[in-house]
Chains A and B, each alone.
Chain A
Amino acid sequence: MKRSKLGFWLFLAPCLISFAIVVLIPTIIGIYYSLTDWKGSGNANFIGFENYIKLFTNDNSNFWYSFGYTALFAVTAVICINVVGFALALLVTKKFRGATLLRGIFFMPNLIGGLLLGFAWQFIFKQVFNAIYTATGMEFFRNWLTDSTTGFFALLIVMVWQMGGYMMIIYIAAIQNIPDSVIEASAIDGAGGWRRLFSITIPMVVPAFTVGLFLMLSNSFKLFDQNLALTKGGPNHCNEMLALNIYNSAFVSNETGYAQAKAVIFLISVATISIIQLIATKRAEVET
Chain B
Amino acid sequence: MKVKKILAALLVASICSTAALTGCSVSKSDGTSSTGGSSTTSSTDSKSSSNEPVTITIKQFKAEIDEQLGKAIEKYKSVAPNVTITYQSIGAGTDIGTVLKADMSAGTMPTIFNAIGPSEYEVYKDYLEDLSDQPWVSHATKGSLDLLTVDGKVYGLPVSTEGLGLVVNKKIFDDAGIDISNLKSMKDFDDAFSKLDAKIKDGSLSNVDSCKNLKSVTAVQGAETWVLGDHAENIFLVPEFEGDPFKAYNSKTIEMKYANTYKDYTDMMLKYSEFADNKKGAVTYTYSGNAIPDIATGKVAVIQQGNWAYGEINKIDEATAKNLTLLPMPIGGDNQDAAMVSILSQYWTVNSKASDAEKTAAKDFLNWLYQSDEGKDIIVNSFGFIPVFDNYGDLTPSDPLSKAVVDLSSSGKVVNAVFKGTPDGWGQNVFGAAVQAYISGEKTWDEVVKTAQDGWAEAKK
Binding site for B on A (CB under 8 A): 39-42, 60-61, 122-123, 126, 130, 142-147, 231-232, 234-237, 248, 251-254
Contacts and interface: CB of A to CB of B under 8 A. Distances in A.
B67 interface: no
Contact of A60 (B98, B125, B126, B458): B458
A41 B128 CA distance: 13
Contact of A254 (B126, B284, B425, B433): B425
7 contacts: A42-B125, A126-B289, A143-B278, A147-B442, A236-B442, A248-B429, A252-B425
B428 A42 contact: no
B433 A235 contact: yes
Interface residues of B, number: 37
B458 A40 contact: no
Contacts of B123: 39-42, 254
B94 to A, nearest CB: 10
Nearest to B458: A60
Nearest to A123: B289
Given A39-B123, A60-B455, A235-B223, 9 more contacts: A42-B122, A234-B433, A235-B222, A235-B284, A235-B439, A236-B433, A236-B443, A254-B123, A254-B425
Contacts of B225: 234
Given A60-B455, A234-B225, A235-B283, A251 B97 contact: yes
A218 to B, nearest CB: 20
Contacts of A236: 433-434, 436-437, 440, 442-443
Interface in B89-117: 95, 97-98, 101, 104-105
- Sort A-B residue pairs by CB-CB distance and give the 9 closest, nearest first: A253-B425, A235-B436, A236-B437, A235-B283, A252-B425, A254-B424, A236-B436, A236-B433, A41-B123
A118 B429 CA distance: 21
B258 interface: no
A126 B284 contact: yes
B424 A253 contact: yes
Interface string B428-460: 110001101101101100000000001100110
Given A251-B95, A253-B425, A234 B223 contact: yes
Contacts of A251: 95, 97-98, 101
B97 A146 contact: no
B429 A253 contact: yes
B263 interface: no
Contacts of B136: none
Contacts of B223: 232, 234-235
A146 B284 CA distance: 6
A146 B283 contact: yes
B281 interface: yes
Nearest to B436: A235
B280 interface: yes
B124 interface: yes
A31 to B, nearest CB: 16
Contacts of B443: 236
A29 B443 CA distance: 40
Contacts of A143: 278, 280-281, 284
Contacts of B459: 253
Contacts of B125: 42
Contacts of A248: 425, 429
Nearest to A247: B98
Given A234-B225, A236-B440, A251-B98, A147 B280 contact: yes
Contact of B428 (A126, A130, A144, A252): A252
B266 to A, nearest CB: 14
Contacts of B455: 60
Contacts of B119: 254
Contacts of B122: 42
A251 B425 CA distance: 9
B425 A42 contact: no
A142 B279 CA distance: 12
B440 A147 contact: yes
A254 B437 CA distance: 23
A274 B187 CA distance: 59
Contacts of A130: 281
Nearest to A151: B284
A152 to B, nearest CB: 15
A146 B123 CA distance: 35
| Residue among B98, B278, B433 with max Cβ neighbours from chain A (10 Å) | B433
Contacts of A61: 429
A134 to B, nearest CB: 11
A40 B429 contact: no
A122 B437 CA distance: 20
A41 B104 contact: yes
Given A232-B223, A234-B433, A236-B434, A252 B424 contact: yes
Contacts of A60: 454-455, 458
Contacts of B436: 234-236
Nearest to A126: B284
Nearest to B455: A60
A75 to B, nearest CB: 25
Nearest to A248: B429
Contacts of A126: 284, 289
Interface in B192-231: 222-223, 225
A41 B124 contact: yes
Interface string B114-149: 000001001111100000000000000000000000
A252 B440 CA distance: 23
A123 B429 CA distance: 24
Interface string B231-263: 000000000000000000000000000000000
Contact of A235 (B95, B124, B440): B440
B387 to A, nearest CB: 31
Nearest to B223: A234
Nearest to A249: B425
Nearest to A40: B101
B366 to A, nearest CB: 23
Contacts of B101: 40-41, 251
Nearest to B454: A60
Contacts of A232: 223
A255 to B, nearest CB: 8
Contacts of B280: 143, 146-147
Nearest to B280: A146
Nearest to B281: A143
A237 B454 CA distance: 17
Interface in B266-302: 278, 280-281, 283-284, 289
A284 to B, nearest CB: 39
A142 B442 CA distance: 17
Nearest to A232: B223
A30 B95 CA distance: 22
